[in-house]
Amino acid sequence: MLGIEMNLKGLVISFIWLILAPCVGSDTHAEILLELHHSQLAYAGRMPLNITHADSVLFLNTDRYNPRPVPQNSLSWQHITPADVGMVFWADSASLGFQSVVSNLTNGDDEYLWVISEILPDGGGYAQVAHESDYFGDSIDLRGYAIEDIGLRVDWFAVTPAVSDLGITYIVNGSPVPEPATLLLVGAGGLLLRRRWNA
């Protein structure tokens, strides 16, 4: 009887592993869901440029012509300098505005995705705006995914008295949310294993 019980337990464990394997495999690791490139070029007019840093903000809203980012609904990176080229600055669930941005990126609504970068001493800069569906193609947004972190990579930043040239990339990392049916199967397998071990 002991041998039969051990074999049954082995079969149950194997069955549960077959269910769990797709969930604990490579598909559950964070992957790059979006790379959003943004660049801007500023030329000096009559006066030379006096640029020392840049600021950038990422947010979503439903208004195409009236952006109103506030810290609670946006992600902001400030004082980006030429020394930061090649670096990635990450925001996660502990960052102000992260939950709001993630909620809008995964709510299934085709909102406007804004990137605004300020590089001029007077606070002037450039805005890039488009519908979420313009970035995701067949999908409206990232509904069905769990976003783990969002980063800003400084690709280039050249500053002279005559010109300022900034290139950044926003990186969104996440993983698919398991289907409810899969979660039910995993739960059923766990109950079956518990009953077998308690028998």
Predicted local distance difference test score (pLDDT) of residue 195: 52
Predicted local distance difference test score (pLDDT) of residue 123: 64
C-alpha angle 163-135-33 in degrees, rounded to nearest 5: 100
Q: How far apart are CA 99 and CA 124, in angstroms?
A: 27
Which sign does the torsion angle of CA 167, 54, 83, 149 carry? negative
Query: Under DSSP, is residue 5 helix (H, G, I), strand (E, B) or coil?
Result: helix
How many other CB atoms sit within 10 Å of the CB of residue 45?
7
Q: What is the pLDDT of residues 111-151, one digit of tens each?
A: 999 999 987 766 677 889 999 999 887 789 999 999 999 99
Using the predicted structure, report yes or no on whether residue 30 has a pLDDT greater than 50: yes
Query: Under DSSP, is residue 189 helix (H, G, I), strand (E, B) or coil?
Result: helix
pTM: 0.75
Q: Token pair of 178, please? A: 């398991």
pLDDT: is 49 or 18 the higher one? 49
